[in-house]
Structure 1
Amino acid sequence: MNREELKDFHQRGYFGPFKVYEIDEMRAMWRRERLRLMDRSNAAYGDEGAAAGNTNIANYDRHLDSEFLADHISRPEIVDRVTSVLGPDVLCWRTEFFPKYPGDEGTDWHQADTFANASGKPQIVWPDAEEFGGTVTVWTAFTEANEDTGCLQFIPGTHQTMFYDETKRMHYDPNQINSAEKDGVRRGFFGYDYRELQIDPDWKPDESKAVSMVMRPGEAILFWSTLMHASLPHNGKTDEMRLGFASRYVPTRVNVYPGTDEIEEYGGRVSLDKYGAVLVAGRNDNPHNRIAVSTTTGHPFTTR
């Protein structure tokens, strides 16, 4: 990212969309990889993740067993831009799939700093001298992402102020999924109501300033997790699912999963025994963080 792009990023809180793969290349790769990913025998969370069923925790960290995703998180189109924001020493600490099927609700407006929003336990902690940091998320469209299929939405410039208190606890209720309409739009948060975390219970995000991130397959958007973001519902006008893959990056000085050996959220629980953050750029001098140097099948990660 050049100087003007960085200035714009710091003002708006996001950059892109930008191309990571050609459209036909992305479609062909996903046709192949979606079948391989059905096999969870080498997944870091294995049967635990499968037991989580349709909850979002089942979609975590498949880069730890998939060669394609392991290479994806280190692609220069992504890492070069991430390091221009975070500096030379960078970890990928989590990845997630975000599928949206015809008829699925949109996602609540939300921000994430420590990612304690569902469990109440901070999952990333920046040094004390830094007020809050969040993560740089790179959300890649594996399929068409538009206003019919449920694309991302951002409210530019909201990344410098937290409107939510992540030390509060949200209450998980799977019956909430696809059941709530908020201000005329069907939105939820994977069985939670994100409004429970609002610092001011009467506050509402200014949706008049929202912008929709329409992306073709193979395009990506880079944004701060503290940026107010949401997604639209999939209105069912097409029978194609919308699939995004989010890779999350932090500087190596950030502590990942401090004081915990499991993730508990979205109605599921997985052990971190096979977990390791991936060094995608530079060097790691933080002894707190456990580093994975290869996938569970032995495919090496690339450090740039």
Structure 2
Amino acid sequence: MTATGAGRAFALSPEELESFRTNGFFGPFKVYEPEEMTGAWRRERLGLMDRSMAVYGDEAAASGNTNISNYDRHLDSGFLADHICQERIVDRVTSVLGPDVLCWRTEFFPKYPGDEGTDWHQADTFANASGTPQILWPDEFKEFGGTITVWTAFTEATVDNGCLQFIPGSHEQMNYDETKKMHYDPDRINRQDKQGTRRGFFGYDYRELQKDPDFEPDESRAVSMVMRPGEAIMFWSTLMHASHPHGGAGPMRLGFASRYVPTSVRVYPDTEAIEEYGGTVSLERYGTVLVSGRDTHGHNRLTDRTTRGHVFPVR
């Protein structure tokens, strides 16, 4: 896979690209000014309560599961549609993935006062919750896997309110077997790791996927991603990542993750529904979004506009 960012205003420099390849992440970097992000979210959050045009509609909400209902709101929100195509994001992503790129999923990640920290985890095919691969790279790129995630802070993200944590360089080796299937229990009781941090994974125990049952992440190497509203961090999903718990003081912490792959990757192969987190939603109205370049492969269903008619600005 040949990465390129030539001619793009926010492309990674050769030194930044080398750092990304070594550490598995880049940033934080500014996408919006803090007051711009705060104002935009204040305007948008009420509109997002209207799910009438969401691709999963009330189907996800009716399942009682908040994780799936947080998926893919870029497919009905004009602001989020523009966000996933933001040049400050796409230029950096194409520096790694090459010029022809799809956004295949977005997710909101709220963390409320008192919420536990998220388990250390990695994702390659995203079969981790369902047991069914959600993305598959072509055979000629066997050395690659996972997705580029760009996690944007919509609010302040601090150690105290649950910011992300990374273990640099851990993206080169998968410590989890995604062909196993985790057991979902929405009432699962918080556990404490050896450092005394309360951790969980949205009703799952990610340790069930460990290749080595005695594996322990080296948290002595962990770094915390403190971010202002409007800042973003780009990382491989195969990087060991987690989050701190929300200590209970102050408002909700909110992040928005957009996930990118080359157009050669198959998205939801031979799959008609998403089944995970105790819920099921149909992919009938779903489509991937071309954010840069061209799609000459034709593997995936594409959509060029939101359900409300807002056109995605391809870079």
TM-score (normalizing by structure 1): 0.98
Superposed counterparts of 1:138-157, under 5 Å: 138-157=150-169
Does 1:35 pair with 2:50?
no
Following superposition, the deviation at residue 286 of structure 1 comes to 1.8
Of residues 179, 186, 198, the one that matches 2:210 is 198
Aligned-CA RMSD value: 0.8
Superposed counterparts of 1:220-239, under 5 Å: 220-238=232-250
Q: Report Cα offsets for 1:35-78 as digits up to 9, x if no partner.
A: 00000000000011212334311100000000000000000000
**For the residues of structure 2 that align with 1:61 and 1:284, how far apart are their CA atoms?**
20
Does 1:55 pair with 2:76?
no
1:285 alignment partner AA: T
**For the residues of structure 1 that align with 2:48 and 2:271, how far apart are their CA atoms?**
27
Of residues 4, 18, 21, the one that matches 2:15 is 4
Of residues 281, 296, 299, the one that matches 1:288 is 299
**For the residues of structure 2 that align with 1:128 and 1:55, how far apart are their CA atoms?**
35
**For the residues of structure 1 that align with 2:282 and 2:114, how far apart are their CA atoms?**
32
Identical pairs, percent: 74
Q: Report Cα offsets for 1:209-255 as digits up to 9, x if no partner.
A: 000000000000000000000000000121x1000000000000000
Of residues 93, 109, 116, the one that matches 1:82 is 93
Give the paired residue count.
Answer: 302
8 Å CA contact retained: 2:65, 2:277? no
1:257 alignment partner in structure 2: 268
Superposed counterparts of 1:3-22, under 5 Å: 3-22=14-33
**For the residues of structure 2 that align with 1:217 and 1:15, how far apart are their CA atoms?**
17
Of residues 248, 259, 283, the one that matches 1:272 is 283
Segments of 5+ residues of structure 2 without an aligned counterpart are: 1-11
Following superposition, the deviation at residue 181 of structure 1 comes to 1.6
8 Å CA contact retained: 2:264, 2:299? no
8 Å CA contact retained: 2:117, 2:199? yes
8 Å CA contact retained: 1:55, 1:190? no
**For the residues of structure 2 that align with 1:2 and 1:52, how far apart are their CA atoms?**
45
2:181 alignment partner in structure 1: 169
8 Å CA contact retained: 1:61, 1:94? yes
TM-score (normalizing by structure 2): 0.95
Segments of 5+ residues of structure 1 without an aligned counterpart are: none
